[in-house]
Each structure stands twice: as structure tokens, then as C-alpha cells.
Structure 1
Amino acid sequence: MMSLNPSKFQVELPSELIPVLDQLGIGQTADERVIISIAIGLYTGHVVSLARAAEIAGQSLNQFIDVLRQRNISWANYGDEDLKDDTTFIKKLLGDSEPGNDQNRM
């Protein structure tokens, strides 16, 4: 895991937001709750990968997946790009370098 170098800066939060952060049930301090919330937002906004979001949150991948599950947030995103990558990998694995080349298929 890549080590994050924390930078300190102060952010003023609306007082109405503090109880919401407390209700999330994540992190032990306000700082941790904010960081985990930011990591969730970055992940769900497709800005960072699942592994990177877990790293930002200061959690293992399994811990971060549990946080997402508790909030009914899908962590298994499988899009068109993933399908394309998997198809290319399977073709290489089967030795099928040209579309329509059926002789190497099972």
C-alpha cells in the first residue's frame, strides 16, 4: 500500500453536518469520518479505484468493502472497459489473436 503524506488544513463544516457524520458509524474521530466520507465520494463518483479509495480511507480493502456494503453501495463495478479487458485477456489465454479464429477454442 502506498503511504499517504497528510497535509493539515482546517475546514469549517456547517453545524448541521456534524450529526450526519456521527450517524455514519464510521471512524472514531471527526477527522476519520470526514476522510472516509471523502473516500466513499471519490469512489462512487468514479474518481478513484476501489483500492485507492480504501487507501485514502486508511483501511484495508476488505474493511472498505464492508463500509460500502453497510451503506448498500455497490463495490463490484463491472463496466464496458472491464469487459473489453477481460475479453482481450481470454483471447490471449486461449491463443486466439484474431476474431473468428475458432480452432483454439474449447
Structure 2
Amino acid sequence: MGQDQLERKAMESPVATGGAVAEALGELEEAKVNYMQDLQITAEFNDQNGLGISFRNLARFYQSTQDNSLISTVAETLGVTVEQVQELFANFSDGESDTVAS
């Protein structure tokens, strides 16, 4: 793993934390950007544990905001269908899923 990759991987946790902080402060657009950046980093490194955490954060964020653009953005980022994201969000909100199938 090169230096750039190590630096990008190191950003993963602080970015997710930034999403939660921004959300708590009511800065929803900033929270969305941070949560999506976290998802992109964890997907880039195929970090299954990180993907599960990112997806739980996004599912919870979607439940509170009902921002439909989030579903299409997640689908595009992961290369899956909108329907698959909707199903995964529903599973996470029901507490059924701990990991994201790729």
C-alpha cells in the first residue's frame, strides 16, 4: 500500500465521525458529504467491517432525512441498483444486517 493509499485509509474514521458531528449540528448536507466520503473510502479498500458501519450510518441518516437522492448516490457509488440499496437500508433499519454483500 502506497503512502497516498495509507493516508486515504487513515481518513476513514475521522470522516465518519465528521458526518455524525455535522448531523448532530443540523448541517445535513455536510453530514451527507462526510458519510458518502466514508463509504467511498471503505469501498475503495473493500473494508467489509467499515462498509457495514458506513452503511448503518447511511441507513440511519436516510431514515431521519428521507433524502431520496442519498439512495441513488449510494447505488452509484457501490455499483448496485437503487432497489438493492433500498432493500439494504430497510434491513439495516430493522437491525437484520451487519455486513454489506458485494
Coarse TM-score class (shorter-chain normalised): 0.3 to 0.5
Return the structure number with greater relative CO, CA threshold 8 A, min gap 6: 2
Structure-2-length-normalised TM-score: 0.35
Structure-1-length-normalised TM-score: 0.34
Task: Answer 1 or 2: which has greater helix percent.
Answer: 2
Larger Rg: 1
